[in-house]
Amino acid sequence: MRLPELDVEAMDAAQKAVYSSIAGGARGGVRGPFLALLHSPELAARVEQLGVFVRFECAVPQRLRELAILVVARHWRADYEWFAHAPIAETQGLPKEAIEALGAGAKPEWPTEADSVIVDFCEQLLGSRRVSDQTYERARDLLGVHGVTDLTGLVGYYSLLALTLNAHEVNVPADADIPWHRETRNAGDAKRSS
């Protein structure tokens, strides 16, 4: 990580308060983007509170939330976001093969129409900064007005985290299997063999 590692004992009062709140909350620990965000305790506190709602309480069902997070992680190539959420998505019933294909930049067949709606909405919003009328209507029909509003907020929130992770180069374990790292390795292998 580009930022200095924070020692809990050496944190100032504001950092300790936010650290304790995060560690004792729904996340059960301080990891990933929050290790970077704690360098600005006010920002960390506000982001964490929004995150509790978006990740655990919003109107988008958990399986679809995790799928949306993976679309965001893939778009931004946010290693830690993918590392943290791909296993959760699998426990929510998303097929490992489809998760892998998404991570590799392919267009997998999703097992449900709901999965396809979420992927289309998130990819359009991230890719073109807009959503077509047809895709918006499909998302609204699936989630309702409340849900599609929460989904949009989820994409924004996890984009904020992805950018935080990427800017500060928050690390994943050396053996983490990140799909776009495989792409780079495979491209390098192909060049060496030709």
121-145 tens-digit pLDDT: 999 999 999 999 999 999 999 999 9
Q: Residue 190: pLDDT above 90?
A: no
Sign of CA dihedral 133, 136, 142, 148: negative
Q: Residue 103: pLDDT above 70?
A: yes
Residue 28's pLDDT is: 85
- Residues 115 and 51 grouped into a single domain: no
Residue 26's pLDDT is: 82
Global model pTM greater than 0.85: yes
Residue range(s) defining the domain that contains residue 190: 59-194
- Residues 174 and 84 grouped into a single domain: yes
- Residues 176 and 188 grouped into a single domain: yes
- Residues 65 and 53 grouped into a single domain: no
Per the structure, the count of domains in the chain is 2
What is the mean predicted confidence (pLDDT) over 148-177?
96
Residue 27's pLDDT is: 83
- Residues 142 and 84 grouped into a single domain: yes
Residue type, 34: F
pLDDT band at 192 (very low <50, low <70, confident <90, very high): very low
Rounded to the nearest 10 degrees, the angle between the axes of helix 133-167 and helix 41-52 is 140
- Residues 35 and 103 grouped into a single domain: no
Instruction: Mark which of 57, 75, 94 sits at the end of a domain.
Output: 57
- Residues 130 and 193 grouped into a single domain: yes
Residue 128 in contact with residue 110, Cβ under 8 Å?
no
- Residues 84 and 129 grouped into a single domain: yes
Residue 182's pLDDT is: 73
- Residues 45 and 91 grouped into a single domain: no
How many whole angstroms separate alpha carbon 53 and alpha carbon 55? 6
- Residues 44 and 139 grouped into a single domain: no
Q: Residue 53: pLDDT above 50?
A: yes
pLDDT band at 193 (very low <50, low <70, confident <90, very high): very low
Instruction: Compute the C-alpha angle 86/75/28, nearest 5°.
Output: 40
Q: Residue 191: pLDDT above 50?
A: no
**Helix spans in 38-132 (H):** 41-52, 62-76, 79-91, 96-103, 113-128
- Per the listing, tokens 């308060």 go with 17
- Residues 50 and 97 grouped into a single domain: no
Share of the chain above pLDDT 90, in %: 85
pLDDT band at 96 (very low <50, low <70, confident <90, very high): very high
- Residues 36 and 89 grouped into a single domain: no
We report the CATH number of the domain holding residue 121 as 1.20.1290.10
